[in-house]
Amino acid sequence: MSTAHLSLNDKNFEFPTFAGTEHELAIDCGKLRGSTGAVTYDPGYGNTGSCKSAITFIDGEKGILRYRGYPIEDLVGNVKFTQVAYLLIHGELPTTTEFDVWRNELTQHSLVHESMLNFFDHFPVTAHPMNILASMISSMSSFYPQDGEDEDKLNLNIMRLVGQVKTLAAFSYKKSVGQPVVYPRTDLSYSANFLRMMFGLPTEEYEVSPVIEKALDALLILHADHEQNCSTSTVRMVGSSRANLYASISAGVNALWGPLHGGANQAVLEMLEMIQADGGNYKKYVEKAKDKDDDFRLMGFGHRVYKNFDPRAKILCTAAEEVLNELGVSDPLLDIAKNLEEIALSDPFFVERKLYPNVDFYSGIIYRALGIPTEMFTVLFSIGRMPGWIAHWLEMRSDPDGRIHRPRQIYIGETERRLNV
């Protein structure tokens, strides 16, 4: 592989380069500061590769997303979320036997420790479900401690996290509306169990709609991983200190809570509702978005990585239509969304800036059609992202080049000064 050349202060330096399996070129700057005394300045780390990873590949220019080599278009609709979870965590799709064991283990470990139920009673009614979820996951390390490098206990804790996150999420919702919790059942799928725990009651049978179950499973798969995003990088950073799995994942939940990350689909829905309340005049808001002197921004357009149509958005666009048609739901917000999408794909302002609809643009509409409350949108994102976070934590933990994360800074404060005494 060729080398990269740097000229600095009349001195020349060489740094090795290498490429990933998809030919993405990287410059190894590991000895930059030691060799030159300089550091890179890269706000938001948009040009910095923080690790080598074999989990997810994204080509933002071509709109490609693959989990462990499998295109996202092949996975959605053909395998279940729990199979994708196994793929991300273990590296391969499970055989029939492996999947039966995996599914059974997840079901058996979906019951939370009974003492944890007391915690829900002491959160204020106004507590956000993401706050509750992060707190409950953090508390799991008290109930299920991991002793050192015990792999069996680690695997058990992984199954507990994947199995219980949906239970904790559903329980937090039940507590917020003053309803009794509904325990999971062993005969239902992962998505069906969540829906039943969310919307069912102990006093009556709850029939899970196959259409809704399928749609939720697709949403969870689409959210399962997305390379080194803010929350995943947070999980890796916290884990680099050798913090336990629960502490690291809890930190990821808090990172996802931010409106620029997991909360973006809620912002999209609120924007669509605002346009609807203004007579559905979407063209007015398109012009506002194009006006550089106007603070208004169209939510759900553009992506930090994708400079093409987000492949997840393509899938969800079709899924949104199918769900609304199957359920007989007529949602004017979807019509507004379609009109905005059409403009984004043809208007030179959006095309030149590559502001295509992203995954958040449609996910909120589907959640709304499924009856998921707005404050639970980001919680659903967390459930889907759980296997990805775990996979990255495991990969970080076994990385031979791994070190505790410690970024540098460029100090711009006062130079040395003394007290006048």
Helix (H) or strand (E) holding 216: helix 210-222
Active site residue 261: no
Burial 343-370 (b: 16+ CB within 10 A, else e): bbeeeeebeeeebbbbbbbbbbbbbbbb
Q: Is 74 a catalytic residue?
A: no
* Phi and psi angles of residue 52, each rounded to the nearest 5 degrees, phi first: -100, 135
- Tokens 């005494």 -> residue: 421
Q: What is the DSSP-derived secondary structure letter of residue 207? A: P
Catalytic-labelled residue, pool 217, 303, 310, 331: 303
Contacts of 12 (CB under 8 A, 6+ apart): 5, 6
Q: Is 33 helix (H, G, I), strand (E, B) or coil?
A: helix
Start-to-end CA distance of the chain, whole Å, equals 60
Token pair for residue 411?
């100090």
Please state, as a whole number, how many other Cβ atoms lie within 10 Å of the Cβ of residue 43.
7
Among 145, 193, 147, 204, CA closest to 170: 193
φ and ψ at residue 59, rounded to 5 degrees: -115, 100
Q: Answer whether 240's CB lies under 8 Å from 401's CB.
A: no
3-class DSSP state of 78: coil
- List b or e across 206-231, with b for residues whose CB sees 16 or more CB atoms inside 10 angstroms: bebeeebbbbbbbbbbbbbbbbbbbb
Tell me the H-state helices in 257-306. Answer: 264-277, 282-290
Q: Can you tell me the distance from the alpha carbon of 251 to that of 236, in angstroms, rounded to the nearest whole number?
A: 10
| Catalytic positions | 303, 360
